[in-house]
Amino acid sequence: MTEDENKSVHSIYGSRNEEQAGVQPVVLKYKKRKQQKKDTGDDAKAKYSRGLEDIQILGGNILRVAQTTSKAVSKAIDTYERERKRSSKEKTDGAYEDFVYNSAKAASDFMKETSGLPLDLAEAMNTKSYRKRVRRGLRRSSRIMRFWRM
C-alpha cells in the first residue's frame, strides 16, 4: 500500500496468523468522504421574496448610508476633541475661547465625510422596481386629478 492509501484506510480486516495455511482475503474499508458545504460568504447572492426584494435592497442601501454617517460623526467628534486639547494646552481657557473654531473644524470634517451621501441615497432609491412603483403611483394620482379639472 502506498502512503496515500494508508492515510485513507479506516480499518483492515483479515487474518495475519501464520498458522492458517489457506489464503485469507484482506478487506479494506475506506472512510467516507465528507461533502463540502457551499460557501455562504459575502459573494453568495441574497434570496428575497418576490414582492419584498426592492424594499429589502433599499433597506440595505440605507443601512450603508447610516454607517457612513455614523463614521463621519465619530470622526468629527475625534477632530473636536483633538483640537480642544490642543487649544487648552496652548493658552489659558483656550478650549473655551476656541470653541467656535474647534466646532467649525469638526463640522468641516463631518461635511467632507458625508459629501457623497445625497448621491448614495439617490442611487439607493434608483432601482428598476422603485421607478416602476413611482410610475404606477403617478398614473393613479393623475387619474384621480382628472375628476377635479375645471
Distance CA(59)–CA(49), nearest Å, equals 14
Q: Where are the domains of the chain?
A: 53-124
pLDDT at 108 over 90: yes
Residue 11 grid coordinates: 480499518
State the chain's mean pLDDT as an integer: 81
Return phi, psi of residue 37, to 5°. Answer: -80, 150
What percentage of the chain reaches a pLDDT higher than 70? 80
pTM (two decimals): 0.56
Please give the helix or strand (H or E) that residue 46 lies within, else none.
none
Return the half-sphere exposure (C-beta side, CA atoms, 13 A cut-off) of residue 109. Answer: 19
pLDDT tens sequence across 61-106: 889 999 999 999 999 999 999 999 999 999 989 889 999 999 999 9
Distance of CA 115 to the CA centre of its chain: 22
